[in-house]
Amino acid sequence: MSEPSIPEPNGVSSRGDESTGQPSLLADLNELQSPTSVQDLEIANASATALIQEAVAEAVANREVLPEPIALPFIDFQDVSIGFGDRKILDNVSFHIGRGQTLCILGRSGVGKSVSLRILLGFLKADSGRVCVDGQDITTMDEAGLQEIRKHVTMVFQNGALFDSLTVGENIAFPLREKGGLAEDQIQQLVTRLLDLVGASDTREALPSSLSTGQKRCIAIARALAAQPEAILYDEPTTMVDPIMGRLIGDLIQRLKLQLGITSIVVTHDMRFAMRLADLVLFLDSGKARFFGTIRDFLDCPDAHVQQFLALDAYTLPLPQEA
């Protein structure tokens, strides 16, 4: 049976020119014919649109709220232990700190506060446990790997560790020159900005031996910042400084956190200093982590060792009675 075709005007066949074998225009039009009307297509389109809208509405109504992703800690101590001879300094100590936070490590002298910082920088090797910095396990790193870590995490020592033979300005310029890539005028501009930041612009030409302990600490912080670290570790920054300088150092650490997002770990025995700075507190006692958490929870911690520490810190000598 032959297929229906559009009527052929003037006797032209819809099957084309048999002499040339080429299809005719009428044959093309026949193939494009559809039994579906325009009205039927519009109805089908409206129905499909309605189904899609219904499916979207149902998906929105039934959508589960996913929890926010948990950021990995920038610094993470996991069950770290270390001992010297028969003495256990740290015994399965764990803590962590996120980017831009300040952790204060509290405790009496000799409980392993400063040892924790030296393990973190790879100056000491833990006997067991795991230490991670920015997701990298440093416990198995060689010295070259640790040097890379120290570009991002630096330390301010109690004595400042400044070069005695160099001026303050030269001390701060030293890590900038070591890093390379800067012209001398750029280095000097950065030195000026760093001295202004720590409030020590008048000490630029001075030698470290002429500075007070507090001034040396501020210069050490400026030199640490010259390396553009992500975290700074402070070992007893207020020891042997007067209360005014102690407050200035605390204000500086807080400003670096708020303005530059610097992560800080502060070893201190000064509870008042910690209360001004700490987001998190680690309390060490006899090598154990007796508490790790927020400063508010620390003040309310029922642990007897914590309460004894707080009570002794709050103790003040009575004023002498008048004769």
| 3-state SS, one letter per residue, for 210-253 | HCCHHHHHHHHHHHHHHCCCCEEEEECCCCCCCHHHHHHHHHHH
Mean pLDDT of 74-85: 94
Determine how β-strand 128-133 pairs with β-strand 102-106: unpaired
Q: What is the pLDDT of residue 112?
A: 87
User: Does some domain include residue 7?
Assistant: no
Tell me, what DSSP letter sits at residue 42? H
User: Does some domain include residue 323?
Assistant: no
CATH number of the domain within which 176 lies? 3.40.50.300
Phi, psi angle pair for 8, to nearest 5°: -95, 115
Categorize the per-residue pLDDT at 239 as very low, low, confident or very high, splitting at 50, 70 and 90: confident
Q: What is the pLDDT of residue 311?
A: 85
Q: What is the pLDDT of residue 180?
A: 79
- The per-residue pLDDT for range 270-295, each reduced to its tens digit, is 888 899 899 999 999 988 999 999 99
Q: What is the pLDDT of residue 32?
A: 46
* 57 and 117 assigned to the same domain: no
Strand 128-133: give its sheet, edge to edge: 87-97, 75-84, 128-133, 136-137
Categorize the per-residue pLDDT at 133 as very low, low, confident or very high, splitting at 50, 70 and 90: very high
Residue type, 209: S
User: Does some domain include residue 8?
Assistant: no
* 24 and 89 assigned to the same domain: no
User: Does some domain include residue 149?
Assistant: yes
Alpha helices in the chain (DSSP H): 25-32, 38-62, 113-120, 143-150, 168-179, 184-197, 213-226, 243-260, 271-277, 295-299, 304-314
Categorize the per-residue pLDDT at 320 as very low, low, confident or very high, splitting at 50, 70 and 90: low
Indicate the number of domains in the chain.
2
Categorize the per-residue pLDDT at 323 as very low, low, confident or very high, splitting at 50, 70 and 90: low
* Structure-model confidence comparison of residues 13 and 257, the more confident one: 257
Phi, psi angle pair for 55, to nearest 5°: -65, -40
Q: What is the pLDDT of residue 242?
A: 85
Strand 231-235: give its sheet, edge to edge: 153-156, 231-235, 263-267, 102-106, 280-285, 288-294
User: Does some domain include residue 252?
Assistant: yes
Range in 140-149, 156-165, 301-310 the model is least confident about: 156-165
- What is the Cβ-side half-sphere exposure of residue 173, based on CA atoms within 13 angstroms? 17
Q: What is the pLDDT of residue 12?
A: 45
User: Does some domain include residue 147?
Assistant: yes
Residue 289 class from Cβ within 10 Å (0-12 exposed, 13-18 middle, 19+ buried)? buried
Q: What is the pLDDT of residue 146?
A: 93
Residues in CB range of 172: below 8 A, 6 or more apart:
191, 194, 195, 219, 222, 223, 226
Q: Which long-range contacts (CB under 8 A, 24 or more apart) does 24-33 make?
A: 30/3, 30/4, 30/5, 30/6, 33/6
* 293 and 158 assigned to the same domain: yes
* 81 and 226 assigned to the same domain: yes
Task: Go through the chain and tell me how many residues it has.
Answer: 323
Mean pLDDT of 147-167: 88
Categorize the per-residue pLDDT at 60 as very low, low, confident or very high, splitting at 50, 70 and 90: low
Q: What is the pLDDT of residue 26?
A: 52
Q: What is the pLDDT of residue 321?
A: 63
* 44 and 85 assigned to the same domain: no
* Structure-model confidence comparison of residues 18 and 238, the more confident one: 238
- The per-residue pLDDT for range 1-49, each reduced to its tens digit, is 544 444 444 444 444 455 555 555 555 445 445 555 556 666 766 777 7
Range of the domain at 216: 75-314
Q: What is the pLDDT of residue 42?
A: 67
Q: What is the pLDDT of residue 15?
A: 47
Average pLDDT along the chain:
82
User: Does some domain include residue 204?
Assistant: yes
* 54 and 84 assigned to the same domain: no
Categorize the per-residue pLDDT at 50 as very low, low, confident or very high, splitting at 50, 70 and 90: confident
* 123 and 98 assigned to the same domain: yes
* 196 and 268 assigned to the same domain: yes
Note the pTM of the prediction, 2 decimals: 0.73
